[in-house]
Amino acid sequence: MRLGRATSEHGVFAVAEQPDGTLVPLEPGAAGAAPGRLVAPIVPGKIVAIGLNYLDHIRETGMETPTRPLVFAKFPSAVIGPEEPIAIDARLTERVDWEVELAVVVGAPLRRADPAEAIAAVFGYTVANDVSARDLQFADGQWVRGKSLDTTCPLGPVIVTADELGDPGALRLTTRVNGETVQDSSTSEMVFGVAELLSYCSHSFTLLPGDVLLTGTPWGCGEFMDPQRSLHPGDRVEVEIEGIGVLGNPVVAA
């Protein structure tokens, strides 16, 4: 049984994997849902991420709008929870960026699913910060290493179940660095919606309960500002999505 703990205004809950592979929430006070340290609400089997999926972000990069989802991966070892430090290793990277993203938690196996089947298999949603080492990302020519350094995938503070959150395509999402708002947009800017992304991915590989899909980020990334901006030790970054909550992390030197 996999469990993911989180604290919400309604108390502490956990996610339990059932014998058939589906995920269900445990009520506050249930076995496995004891109060404790606020941690990432789930440790995914795999993290599937989508690049260039917001029209406003595409405009700021000057890149062309993708005709199909741009899929890459982040390693689960990058996951941290609320208030855990994002640790920057100056020997590896000097350009560390923020990216607020709606994270989708898969609740049932998906293989070659149509969009209706895919959206029905969503367990819930949480907030992600797709922290990115831009110098590694662009120097490598592919994105996995620059997106997967340790501590570069904060998740939390809670998972909100799909029935409670409602339409994932109309949510405000923001990023603040040291209190300054640097990203402020809506999931309505997504090129490909949640159902379409899950369906597309499921035709290439099986999505399993507990897997997480990161759906892209809007405008306001530091890499594309003039002048460029990056995260540094001593900073604090907070990413927030309407209906889910605020995910805050300090930045430290590794």
Written as one string, the DSSP assignment of 116-146 is HHHHHTEEEEEEEE--EEHHHHHHHSSSHHH
CA 42 vs CA 14, 55, 105: distances in Å:
9, 29, 9
Specify the pLDDT at position 60: 87
Single pTM value for the model: 0.87
pLDDT of the chain, 254 residues: tens digit per residue: 233 444 444 333 456 566 676 666 655 444 444 444 456 778 899 999 999 999 999 998 888 999 999 999 999 999 999 999 999 999 999 999 999 999 999 999 999 999 999 999 999 999 999 999 999 999 998 999 999 999 999 999 999 999 999 999 999 999 999 999 999 999 999 999 999 999 999 999 999 999 999 999 999 999 999 999 999 999 999 999 999 999 999 999 99
Sign of CA dihedral 200, 207, 151, 72: negative
CA 41 vs CA 7, 19, 27, 38, 225: distances in Å:
8, 20, 14, 8, 32
Q: Phi and psi dihedrals of 10, rounded to 5?
A: -95, 0
Residues pairing with 27 in the sheet: none
- CATH numbers and ranges of domains, the chain: 38-253 (3.90.850.10)
Q: How many CA atoms lie within 13 A of 75 on its CB side?
A: 11
The string of pLDDT tens digits covering residues 112-141 is: 999 999 999 999 999 999 999 999 999 998
**Percent of the chain scored above 90 by pLDDT?**
79
